[in-house]
Structures are given as structure tokens and as C-alpha cells.
Structure 1
Amino acid sequence: MYQEERLIGILNYLQEHQRISIEDICKVFEVSRDTARRDLVKLEENRSIIRTRGGAILPSLTKEVLNYEQRLLDEPKGKKEIGRLAASLIKNNEYLIMDASTTVQFLAEHISTQNNIVVTNSIDIADILSKKDTLSIHLLGGLFNSTHRYIYGAKAIEMLADYNADKLFLGTCGITQDGLSIPDSEEASLMKEMIRRVDQVIVLADSTKFGRKLFQNVCGWDRVDILITDKEPNDQLIETLNLHEVDIMLVQGATNDG
């Protein structure tokens, strides 16, 4: 087996088991301890792992997030099906808040109910919803982030505080047992206010978000009612979700990851 193949295998092992030892590498890949150490050095140089005494773990903090257009193209099938399932939870005449995530944009495309009032900080979601005749749209004002295409800042939070709604549809960049996280503190402040304004919080996230932790915490699982995703979480996360009575909804054809 070539080194590049082993490196991929080591990362796959870490995704499943969270840590790997020199002995594990020797046993699984049938290599010497010196070869195992060289593999870990290479992965560390690529910033793929953090070396520990006798082995390695995956970095717990994710620092890179794709821009909005790139995220729209990333795993589109899973996101579209999550959006479709989320749209089925909406009833006529409900008041809704939608954040500016790409998965929530796919939800907006699938809304077919009547007489909903929607508050959002996303110009793209507002544009999609504007083509649906029976919806009323309240677009928050404030500063505009052109990279991730959302409106944020003190003015947006001030406007949001005037609203109350039935449901919040929320995306996230990271999901761990601690809850939801994103890279930007300004956006997180707005999302926290969104959570305060609604009766029910529904998180839309594909399985690539599992195990990722970013700089800014948004909320713990005690504030979430439903998680809609495309793959069953691992046993540890399921246990945490059950503890906080979070309903897990899987899209059709979802696979078991635990």
C-alpha cells in the first residue's frame, strides 16, 4: 500500500474512532512503527491531524468555511432533500424565521403552503420567496456580508427583536455533542436572537457538519427541537439528542452512521 493510500485510511479511521495510536496503524496497515510515525508526521504537516503521545487525534476546531456559492454546490442532493423534508413541516398561516444558510435556501425553494409570513436575513432566500405570491417577506436591515450573503449587525438584531414567530429554520457549520457552532460572532449573535423569538427551533444540517466545531457557539441542544439531516449521527450524539428530547428526522434513503 502506498503512503497516500495509508494517509486516507488513517483519516477514515480517525473519523470513526476519534483517535489512533502507533500500534493501531501498525496493526491495521501492517507497517513498522517507523513507517507509522512518518505517516503521522506527513499528516501533521498537512494540518490534517494533531499528534499526541503515541498517536494522533483530529483537530477539534475547524477554521475554514467555504463561501456561499461553494456551499450551494457542496453535497447538493443531501441538502435539497433536507430542504424538501423541512418544507413539509410548515403549515398554512404560520409565522417563520429563516436564517441565511444554504440548506435553508433549499427549504425556501420547496415551500408550497399559503399565507406564511417569513422573516429572514438572507437576500437570496428573500428573492426566492418573492416569487411565491401568497407569502409576506420581512427582510432584516443592517450590514451585508458579501462572502456569505447575509445581513447582520446591531440594526438587524434590533429589528428582529420586534418579531415573534412559530418556527425557526436554522443552518449550522458545526455539530457536536455541545451543540451548534459557526465561524462568525456577529452572525452567531443574530442567530441567538432568532432562537429567542420562536416557539420551535428546527436545525437543517447535512452529515458533513457532524463532528465539526467552530469558533463561535450558537446554542446547546436544550434550545433545539428538531434536527433534520441525511445520515444518522453516531451513538454518542444520538444519546445527547435523546437526553435533550431533540427529534431526529432523516431524509428518505438516509444511511446509518452509528
Structure 2
Amino acid sequence: MKPAARREAIVQLVEDCGEVHVDALSEQFETSRETIRRDLNELDTAGRIRKFHGGARKTASFTDSGLTEGPFDARMVTMTAEKTAIGRCAAELFDEGAVIFVDTGSTTIAFARALARRRGLTVITNSPEIAGLLARPEGHHRLYLLGGEIAAEGRETLGALAIEQLGRFKAEHVVLTIGGMTRGEIMDYDLRETEMARAMVARSAKLTVLADHTKLDRAAVFEVAALSAVDRLVTDRAPEPEMAEALAEAGVEVVIA
């Protein structure tokens, strides 16, 4: 296959699959990994794909450019294997007796499913779904559900009432899901969700962020906290070198699920 035709085929695969990897492309096109990397570099330079270490994904559209976020129900059925792995890994990081704020998101819901198998934790959340997952007699967890305006298709409570109730608690840990993480900050798309996350961070001692690899080195709209405020990142894939360097400089522990 001629290089131009191979590159067009790669673009089509990226469009169809959303993300492709060098090893798989090398095997499919029966060519070397070095040749595939050159193809990806040229396509990235042309703005037709976004290259990352070991592969490439679709370029940002309006809906994933940091301006908007997809519906909650749609996010619940994307990257499910990665989110499940992150949730299981993160659930093992907290000792019995820990007091944890947990915000609402598809990844923190996966975390709550795994946390339900643990015992003796105190969890304060604005997610009715997370509270329900943890409300199992065998877990002996203490649960507090923050009241307030119901939002996100009934998935969370937000607003002044919820934040006022949050102010009655202090926790050792806060576990957040995010819209994006740049080399200087963690971010979200929704202002009220950002306000809730900021309030949780302010009332806790240690911040753990749960984020799959697509959220890394990606901006959203509102700053939640500086990257240096994050104690620990749990993700499904090692960050790319530039992002890894920024995390190391900020003193963030990176845990790969």
C-alpha cells in the first residue's frame, strides 16, 4: 500500500474507532512501527488526528474541545473497562475508618461499586447513586447524602443548600472525578459541579483524582484546583512524558490501575 493510501486508511480507522495504537496498526498494515509513527506524526502535523505516546485519537470536536461535556448517561457507558479498573484500584487505597468526600461522576460511581466491598468507611457524597451503592448492611459504612437541588438527570445534588451542608463536615480524603487535567490544574465543565468540588477540596486534607487517560493533558472550562493541590492520581495508563513531568514537579503520586 502506498503511504498516502495507508495514511487515509489510518484516518478512517481513527474516525471509526476513536483511538488506534501503533502496534495494532503495524500488524494490520504489515509495516514497521517506525513507519506507522512517521505516518501518525505527519497526520498530527496536518491536524487530522491527535497523536499520543503509542497511538492516536480523533482530533477535538466542539463537544470534546473543553467547551461542553456529553450527557451523564452517555458517559456512564464509555470507557467502562478503564473506569472499572480505576475504581477497583482506588478502592484499595483507603484504610478502614477513613472519612471520604466523594463527588458525582461516572468514574466515582465505578469507585463506589468497588468501595462497597470494603468495610467501615465514612462517606459524604452528593450522589444518591453512590449512597445507594454503599448502603449495604454488610459493609457497615456510615453514609451522609448532601441535600440540595437535584441535577444531572437526578444523579447529583448541587447548589447553595448542598454546599452549606457540606460545610458541617471535614474529611481526611476527597475523591474527585474531573473533566480535564492540564499541566497546571484540574478542571471541570459545569460551574456548580466545580463549586461543589472546590468546597470538598477546601474541607479535606488529601485529594485523590480519578481520571482515565483521555482526561490527561486536556483542558475543560473551570479550574477546580491547582495541580499541586492533588496528592494522588489514579488512571488507567501512564501519562505521556510532558504530563508525567508536570505531575512529578507538582508532587503528585501517580497510580496506574
User: Normalised by the shorter chain, which TM-score bucket?
Assistant: 0.7 to 0.9
SS for the counterpart of 1:107 is helix
Aligned to 1:96: 100
Aligned to 1:130: 135
Are the aligned partners of 1:98 and 1:121 in contact in 2 as well (CA < 8 Å)?
Answer: yes
Shift of 1:139: 0.5
Q: Which amino acid aligns with 2:90?
A: A
Letter in 2 for 1:113: R
Aligned pair in 2 of structure 1 residues 61, 69: CA closer, same or farther (>3 Å)? closer
TM value normalised by structure 1: 0.76
C-alpha distance in structure 1 between counterparts of 2:39 and 2:112, whole Å: 46
Change (3 A) 1:145 1:28: same
- Cα distance change on mapping 1:4 and 1:100 into 2, 3 Å: same
Q: Secondary structure at the match of 1:231?
A: coil
CA–CA separation in structure 1 for the residues paired with 2:74 and 2:161: 28
Change (3 A) 1:3 1:242: closer
Matched, 1:72 2:76: yes
Letter in 2 for 1:204: L
Structure 1 CA distance for aligned equivalents of residues 190 and 110 of structure 2: 22
Aligned to 1:20: none
The alpha carbon displacement at 1:64 in A equals: 3.2
Aligned residue pair count: 223
Alignment counterpart, residue 241 of structure 2, candidates 235, 251, 256:
235
Q: 2:110 aligns with which of 106, 129, 134?
A: 106
Shift of 1:8: 5.0
Instruction: Check 1:49–1:117 CA distance in 2 against 1; reply closer, same or farther (3 A cut).
Output: closer
One-letter identity of the residue aligned with 2:157 = I
Q: How far, CA to CA, are the matches of 2:175 and 2:60 in structure 1?
A: 33
SS at match of 2:9: helix
* Equivalent of 1:187 in 180, 187, 193: 193
> How far 1:157 moved relative to its partner?
0.9
CA 1:132/1:236 → structure 2, altered by over 3 Å: closer, same or farther?
farther
1:233 deviation in Å? 0.7
Q: Give, in angstroms, the shift of residue 120 of structure 1.
A: 0.1
Equivalent of 1:117 in 111, 122, 125:
122
Q: Distance in 2 between matches of 1:135 and 1:200?
A: 20
Q: Which residue of 1 aligns with 2:228?
A: 222
CA distance 1:106–1:160, change in 2 (3 Å): same
Structure 1 match to 2:90? 86
1:9-28 alignment runs, 5 A limit = 28=39
- Backbone CA RMSD of aligned residues: 3.4
* Secondary structure in 2 matching 1:168: strand
**Offset of residue 131 of structure 1:** 2.2
Q: Deviations over 1:182-204 (max 9, x none)?
A: 11111101100100111111001
The answer on whether the counterparts of 1:91 and 1:113 sit within 8 Å (CA) in structure 2 is no
Quote the offset at 1:60 in angstroms.
9.2
Does residue 154 (structure 1) correspond to residue 153 (structure 2)? The answer is no
1:141 to 134, 144, 147: 147
SS of residue paired to 1:118 = strand
CA distance in 1, matches of 2:12, 2:182: 23
Deviations 1:74-128 (A, max 9, x none): 1111111110011101111111110101111111111233221110001110110
Unaligned segments of structure 1, at least 5 residues: 17-26, 32-38, 42-46, 51-57, 252-258
Cα deviations across residues 207-228 of structure 1 (Å, max 9, x unaligned)? Answer: 1112321111111111100000
Q: 1:132 to 1:65 in 2, by over 3 A?
A: farther
Query: What percent identity do the matched residue pairs reach?
Result: 25
The two structures have a TM-score, normalised by structure 2, of 0.76
The CA deviation at 1:3 is 8.1
Letter in 1 for 2:164: E
Give the structure 1 partner of residue 170 of structure 2.
164
